Amino acid sequence: MDIRQVLKAQFSMALEIMEGTLGNCTQEMLDATPPGGGLQSLGVIAAHAAVNTDFFLNAGFAGGEMLLAQGDLAQRAGIPLGETWQTEVWVAGANVQLEPLREYLRALIASVDSVLSAATDEQLEREVPAGPNTMPAWQFLGVIGLVHLMQHGGEVTAIAGTMGVRGPY
């Protein structure tokens, strides 16, 4: 099996689970901050995961523009442009809107397919920075990009579960 197929299947499934879980949520749930002070709102966590996936795939790997920066998606979704980290400034600037966020996740699913389908062997094998070392780009996407997305996807699903929401299945 080709690494493109594996990465496409894994990223698509992780994005579909997050999008499907959010499809069972309300805007009020997206805005709520879980008690205890250690977590951000469901919307902020999901937006952060989407933005980083967009950055890793479309800007970092493909060398293009992030989907979020195209058109008015960032404004409609209430997701700040300019950085991808969940800093206090980024969180304070976020006013995440449910339906545009779901639209963004669906666009990312399509982007995963198109970017990875068009990826050359050279793109996949090129060495990219990874902490103090380097690794092949395909490995970075799978180890850093996908694991990040799946960890936050689990966080979103767990928080939604505490609000009585089932995942997409």
Q: What is the pLDDT of residues 108-121, one digit of tens each?
A: 999 999 999 999 99
Give the C-alpha separation, 91 to 131, whole Å: 25
Closest among 22, 11, 164 to 96, alpha carbons compared: 22
pLDDT digits (tens, 9 = 90+) for 40-58: 999 999 999 999 999 999 9
| Rounded CA separation 60/79 (Å) | 19
Classify domain 3-162 at the CATH class level.
mainly alpha
Supply the pTM of this predicted model: 0.94
pLDDT of residue 85: 72
Closest CA to 63 of 131, 132, 122: 122
**pLDDT at residue 84 in the model:** 66
Residues of the chain with pLDDT under 70: 84
